[in-house]
Structures are given as structure tokens and as C-alpha cells.
Amino acid sequence: MKELLLEKKKSFIQYVFACFFFVVSDVLQAFVFAMIFQTIENGTLEYFRWTVWACIGYIVLSGALFLTSRMLRIAFMRDVLLSVRIRAFDKILNMSYKTFHKKSRDVYLSNLTNDINTFENTFFISLLNFILPCGTFIAIMTILMIVQWQVGLIIFAVSLLVLGISKLFEDRTVKLQEQKSTENEKFTVNVANTFTGLEILKLNNIERQFLVRSKTQIEHLEKTKRKFSFFTALQNHTNEAIGATVMFGLLLFLMYSPGNPVGFGRIALIVQLSGSAVFPMVRMLPLLNVIKSSATLYTKITKPEEATEEESARPNPYCFTKQLTVKGLHFSYEQKEVFRHLDFTIQKGKKYLIKGPSGAGKSTLLKLLSMAYDDYQGSITLDGVDLKTIQTKSFNENTSFVYQDVFLFEASLLDNITLFKPTDPKWVKWAIEKAGLSEFLERQESGLDTMISENGKNLSGGERQRISIARALCKRADILFTDEASSSLNEELGRAVEETILGLEATVVAISHRYYEGLSEKYDFVLELKDGYVNQYPAAEYFQGGEGK
């Protein structure tokens, strides 16, 4: 996490500098407090006036220092949290399809919300409360060594004792923080599943079982939080008890020091200085454990899980000039054999239609060709280069997808088509026309700025599908994969979209159960899947024989 703090060195130095403003306030407070006691002992009006002015000056100055410190620190806190969120998003977006699906989507949601909020609430508070007493301890220890060196040595010895005690608590603190994060993930997944399936729960009268399950999950979560809070409080109270014992002993030492009587003002000064050194010190050392647990949390939500594997195993950029070749492809999914032996080629610029009965593996084949799955036997090569060695990011930049299950963002129509990337307006207009969205767009008062609700809940199935098609067309990808692209469209619009897809210069690999007379024959080839094998036919010949109609 060091690189996170030093990413903006100037801001971090400013943050640390601002934290030390409180040190000035603490030292001044000790001297003002000593002046009050000295006033009682002296009993002079002149010294009383100086004390009053000192108190007023301290109140004004400490208030100004607090506000200035706050203003200097807040910019750094904001920048760090923004950086954490960006890194957390980058980690997720740069995952391969296979790695991403190892966990529930709600786990990632928990990382982006619960874990980052926990990091924000614990890290910055702990960092501030560590830097502040650390600076105070150093400054006041220096003064104590000048005023009463014996007391300074005692406090230094106590600090070493407290450091040792805090070290004993370290591993358990980090472990409890990790457990709390895990329980947060489980709770988020459970709640998401309950809300998603609420209609099914109600229709089958099983709300009670899920309520009990949710209550159990909440109890686990709260129990873990209580453990963490209790363990942290135990450290603090143990150290507070040590601090109180030391302060009581110092007071007795100063009051009854043989042969070295000390005045009230000096006693007050030493006691105040000692308290300002002891109590911040006993509070700051346990915070080291909290900061380390925050560092573990930061690593969890930002460290790429497969960076090394991706860099070493996928060194080749995307390059497709001739053909994609599949040889001896064998694939099983959840212990069920899907493909026994597939051999075929996909030529650059040609259009391929995948056909076959339900369960034959049409969508699975599409995912294998698009690098979504890579745990197969046999080989898939792109211009002779193993598909498993091609960089995921490079491949995705040159391919586009249209699936039956469309996902839309809660954003404008334009952002859903361009996926938030700067795009030439002429290509956006072309994609809208070719996807059959022009009439829909004309009905919208806000045009391309029309807001789409969460996953397109304010749209019909056909409208959502057309936006997905426009998104794919707008990318102008080298390879277009489509899975039932026209399934949600009427006959007329389906034909128009199919004609647009067939008119693209891109290589097209499509799945479609629909037959458009005079149009489906325009595919170059049909790949028919059956019993784990594939047969390849010229499309005109395939449909002429009555297949697939």
C-alpha cells in the first residue's frame, strides 16, 4: 500500500504536515495548563492576566489550526479513495471471463461497496490517529528530556512495553478484518439472491425459510463485527490501563520526590506533557494493527488475481488475416461431454451460421471461439497462433458480441451504444439505422440523451435487443459473434438486422434458430453440431435440402 500513499508525494507530505498541527495544539495546551496552576501558586494579578490572554490565544489558535489541518488533509483523502476505487474497478474489468465467473457478481459488488467503505472508515481514521500521536510523542519526549529526563526515560521504557503487547494482537486483528470482509461478501450475495428471486419465493410460499437464512447470515456478520470491535477495544483498554498506572505513579513520584521539591506549575507541566505522551502512545500502537489490516483489505480489492499468469501465458497480440482453425476440439462442461472431436475452419470475412438441436452446444462453441472458455483439449488457432496465447484485451478490442441476454447500463442511450467511449457520431448514426433504432430514437424527446433505467427496465425486449445490436455494430469489430441476435424482433425487423449483419465486412459467427427465406442462404457456410461432432456445409446447399427451415 506504500505506492498508494506515495502516488502523490506532495499531497501525502502535505497530509502528514497537516496532522502535526495538532501537535502544536497539544504542546501549547500543556503550557497553558501549567500557567493556570502557576497562577494559583503565585497569586499575582499580573500573572493572572497573562494566563487569561494565553488561554484566549490558545483557543483561537487551536481552532485555526484544526480548520487549516482539515482543509489540507481532505484533498489527499479524496484522491486516495478515488485511486482505490479506480484500481478496484480495473482489477475486475481486466479479469478474463473464466476468472470473473469463479465468484458471484455480488462478491465483486461487496468489494466495491462494503470493503471500500470499511477501508475508508478504518484506514484514514487510523492513519490520522497514528501520525498525530506519533508526532506528539516525539515532540513532547524531546521537551520532557529537557524538563525532567528521569520522567522521559520512564515513558520511553513504557512505550517499548506497549509496543510488545500490541505486537501480540497483530495477527488476530488482521485475521478478524479478513473474516469481516468475507462475511460482508456472503451477506451481499444472500440479499441479492433473495431480491432477485423474490417473486419465486412468494409464489411458492417459502419466504419464511429465506427469512431464517437471512437472519442467520446477519447474525454471523454482526458476530464477526463484534469480535473485531471487542478485540480492538481490548487492545486499547489494556494499553489505557498501563497508561493510567504510569500516570498515577508519575504523580506520586513528583509530589513526594525526596530532596527535590517541585512547584505546582512544574508538576502540572510535567503531568500534562507526560499525559500527552503516554496516552497518545498507548492509543497509537494498536492502530498499527488496524492499519495493517486495512492494507490487507486494500490488497484484496485491488491486486490483480491473474496478472502474472496473463502476462506470461498470453504474450501475443490479436492478428487475423487468414483463418481461425479448430482441430480435434474436445470439451466437457460440469462432467458432461459436449464436443468429442470438432474440426473446421473459419475464413476471414466469411459468414458462418451455427445450427443444431437444443443442447448440442451452439452457445458453448461460441464461447470457446470468443475465448470465454479455455479449458478445452485440442487446438484453436488464429492465423496459426494458439488462441490461449493471445492477449485477452487485444482480442476483445477486435471482436464484438450480440447475445440473447442483453445487459444495459443505467445511463444514456448514447453511452449504452458506445459503452462510454468517444465515438464518431457518423458511426453511431449508421449503427442506429442498421439496428432498426431510428424510429425508437425519433420518439424520444431527449434523443441520444434519453436515460435507460437499470438493465433497460423501461424498454421492450425488442428495443433492448436493438440497442445491443447497435452497440456491436458501432464497434466495427473484425469478428462479430451473435447468439440469436434477432430472436426478440418481429419478422420484418429481424430480416433487416440479419441483412445488415450479412452485409458487414467483418467475419460473422452466428447462432439463429430462425429461417429467413432468401436471406439465410446468403451465409457462406453452416456449421451443424450433432452428437459432439460438426459437419460443415455451404449455406445454399444446406437450406436447399430443407435443413434448418
Any alpha helices (H) in 94-148, and if so which ranges? Answer: 97-100, 105-110, 116-147
Asked if the model's pLDDT at residue 520 lies above 70, the reply is yes
Asked if the model's pLDDT at residue 349 lies above 70, the reply is yes
Q: Tell me the pLDDT band of 257, cut-offs 50, 70 and 90.
A: low
pLDDT at position 378 is 95
pLDDT at position 527 is 95
Specify burial of residue 3 (Cβ count, 10 A radius: 0-12, 13-18, 19+). exposed
CA distances to 143, 546, 547 from 541, in Å? 96, 9, 9
Q: Tell me the pLDDT band of 186, cut-offs 50, 70 and 90.
A: confident
Q: What is the DSSP letter of 517?
A: T
pLDDT at position 308 is 43
C-alpha span between 122 and 116 (Å, rounded): 10
Better-predicted residue by pLDDT, 467 or 303: 467
Q: Could you tell me if 320 and 395 are in contact, meaning their C-beta atoms sit under 8 angstroms apart?
A: no
Q: Could you tell me if 96 and 375 are in contact, meaning their C-beta atoms sit under 8 angstroms apart?
A: no
pLDDT at position 359 is 87
C-alpha cell recorded at residue 371:
475465448
C-alpha span between 340 and 197 (Å, rounded): 36
Spatial CA neighbour of 8 closest among 93, 80, 56: 80
pLDDT at position 298 is 76
Spatial CA neighbour of 294 closest among 121, 103, 474, 536: 121
Q: What angle do CA 428, 430, 433 make, to 5 degrees?
A: 110
- For 44, half-sphere exposure in the C-beta direction (CA atoms, 13 angstrom radius) is 6
Which residues are bridge partners to 482 per DSSP? 402, 510
pLDDT at position 264 is 58
C-alpha cell recorded at residue 321:
488475416
Q: Tell me the pLDDT band of 306, cut-offs 50, 70 and 90.
A: low
Instruction: Please give the average per-residue pLDDT across 261-271, as a whole number.
Output: 61
- Sheet containing strand 323-333, edge to edge, reads 336-347, 323-333, 377-382, 385-386
Lowest mean pLDDT among 74-78, 272-276, 402-406, 504-508: 272-276
Asked if the model's pLDDT at residue 394 lies above 80, the reply is yes
Instruction: Please give the average per-residue pLDDT across 480-495, as a whole number.
Output: 82
pLDDT at position 247 is 67
Q: Tell me the pLDDT band of 80, cut-offs 50, 70 and 90.
A: confident
Q: At CB < 8 A and 24+ separation, what contacts does 487-493 make? A: 487/404, 487/512, 487/513, 487/514, 488/404, 488/461, 488/462, 488/464, 489/436, 489/462, 489/465, 490/462, 493/436, 493/462, 493/466
Over the chain, what is the mean pLDDT? 78
Sequence-distant (6+) residues with CB within 8 A of 424 are: none
Instruction: Please give the average per-residue pLDDT across 381-407, as a whole number.
Output: 87
Instruction: Please give the average per-residue pLDDT across 420-425, as a whole number.
Output: 85
pLDDT at position 320 is 93
Sequence length of the chain is 549
Strand-pair category, 525-530 with 351-355: parallel
Beta strands in 253-335 (DSSP E): 323-333
Percent of the chain clearing pLDDT 70 (strictly above): 76
Q: Could you tell me if 476 and 497 are in contact, meaning their C-beta atoms sit under 8 angstroms apart?
A: no
Which residues are bridge partners to 256 per DSSP? none
Cα-Cα-Cα-Cα torsion 10, 11, 12, 17, nearest 10 degrees, comes to 90
Q: At CB < 8 A and 24+ separation, what contacts does 438-445 make? A: 440/466, 441/413, 444/413
Of the segments 258-262, 289-293, 337-341, which one has the largest average pLDDT value? 337-341
Assign 3-state DSSP to the chain and report helix, strand, coil percentages, each to 5.
65, 10, 20
pLDDT at position 348 is 95
Better-predicted residue by pLDDT, 64 or 376: 376
Instruction: Please give the average per-residue pLDDT across 60-71, as a whole number.
Output: 80
Better-predicted residue by pLDDT, 82 or 549: 82
C-alpha span between 211 and 217 (Å, rounded): 10
Of the segments 63-72, 112-121, 123-132, 147-156, which one has the largest average pLDDT value? 63-72
Mind listing the pLDDT tens digit for each residue in 209-225? 667 777 777 777 788 87
Mind listing the pLDDT tens digit for each residue in 25-53? 777 776 777 777 677 667 677 878 888 88
Domains in the chain: ranges and CATH: 10-302 (1.20.1560.10), 323-544 (3.40.50.300)
3-state secondary structure of 355: strand
Q: Tell me the pLDDT band of 386, cut-offs 50, 70 and 90.
A: very high
Phi, psi (deg, nearest 5) at residue 325: -115, 130
